[in-house]
Amino acid sequence: MSACVTDAAISIRNLTKRYAPTGKQGEGKLALDDVSFDVPMGKIFGLLGPNGAGKSTLINIMAGLVGKTSGSVSIWGFDIDRDRRNAKASIGIVPQEIVFDPFFTPAEVLDNTAGYYGVPKGQRRTEELLAAVHLADKADAYARSLSGGMKRRLLVAKAMVHSPPILVLDEPTAGVDVDLRRQLWELVVDLNHRGVTVVLTTHYLEEAEELCDRIAIINHGKLIADKPTRELVAMGREKVVLLTLDRDIAVAPSHEAFSKSEVTGERQVAITYDMDKMNAGDVLSLLNAQGYSIVDVSTREADLEDVFVQLTSNA
């Protein structure tokens, strides 16, 4: 298998997927609508969107589990139609669901999966991968006896048995506790430092903001953003000023210039404003004019969640 000859680990052009109609529907659901973007080599790439946006359909097309209607997908330089075998060998998928035979040990799970990919016994990396996901001491335990976090880590190792240059993680931390999420992110970053390109879908937007070099957002099957993470966050034009007043209030101060105003405590209020139209000093002046005395002030910049909500609401 030759290496990718472009700077894109994954290249998607005009990808459309319309499912066949069911029942009395005249047309089937349009899951992906003319989507085009590139995943840069060696980066952690975030693929975000609300539930039902088309992310899972896109991942299933890359994995060869769902057929596309039109467009093209190239994985590590291999077209998924013209060179399906090498395309599939270039990608490892970690699904949302925990899927492996519970009656095999972790070592057997990895050995069997490597066999499916045609990896010769002498070239299998079972012990190395188990050590990498901190499961070396569980190599011979039944997989069904592993904790939820161990099973998640085993799925990552399973996706890496054929040494793919690209790893796709579909909601890897859904429903897991904070400590396990931290362990999984550390594992992802370590794999990336070893040269693996990572594509990540997650609903934890603060982690996507911290981990991802670049982020694409899909909504209703359409690509609505594709930018380096810093540039995407900078699109947020709203800012929040957090104020502590000198007396208790039951109703938040209001003004037509405020995007939002809400009481957050007995004497606390949060006011959201558009940075293109005013600044924090203007907010304080308006409140002083309304007779409010301010004891303390702090501000919060827009983050990825603010931008995500803004973009998906607009769409």
Q: Same domain, yes or no, for 163 and 286?
A: no
Measured over the CA atoms of residue 78, residue 82, residue 86 and residue 88, the dihedral's sign is positive
Boundary-marking domain end, from 218, 233, 248: 233
- Pair 95, 50 in one domain: yes
Retrieve residue 301's tokens: 């910049």
Given 233, 268, 293, which residue is the final one in a domain?
A: 233
Residues 65 and 206 in one domain: yes
- In 131-219, DSSP assigns E strands to 166-170, 197-201, 214-219
| pLDDT value for 215 | 97
What would you report as the CA-atom Rg of the chain, rounded to the nearest whole angstrom? Answer: 24
Distance CA 23, CA 26 (A): 9
The reply to whether 196 and 156 lie within a common domain is yes
pLDDT tens for 249-299 read 888 998 999 988 999 988 999 998 888 888 889 999 999 999 999 999 998
Give the residue numbers spanning the domain of 282: 236-314
210 has pLDDT over 60: yes
Same domain, 15 and 64: yes
| pLDDT level of residue 98 (50, 70, 90 thresholds) | confident
1 domain-assigned: no
Whichever domain contains 39, its CATH number is 3.40.50.300
Tell me: do 77 and 174 sit in the same domain.
yes
240/280 same-domain check: yes
Alpha carbon distances (Å) from 228 to 40, 198, 213, 235, 313: 11, 15, 6, 11, 21
Confidence of residue 97 (pLDDT cuts 50, 70, 90): confident
Q: Look at phi and psi of residue 116 and say left if phi exceeds 0, alpha if psi is from -120 to 50, else beta.
A: alpha
The neighbouring-strand residues paired with 12 are 37, 73
250 lies in the same domain as 136: no
Rounded mean pLDDT, 43-47: 97
Please state the domain count of the chain. Answer: 2
Please give the average per-residue pLDDT across 231-238, as a whole number.
Answer: 86
pTM of the model: 0.82
Annotate 156-192 with DSSP letters as a single string. HHHHTTT--SEEEEESTTTT--HHHHHHHHHHHHHHH
Q: Is a pLDDT exceeding 90 seen at residue 175?
A: no
Same domain for 217 and 244? no
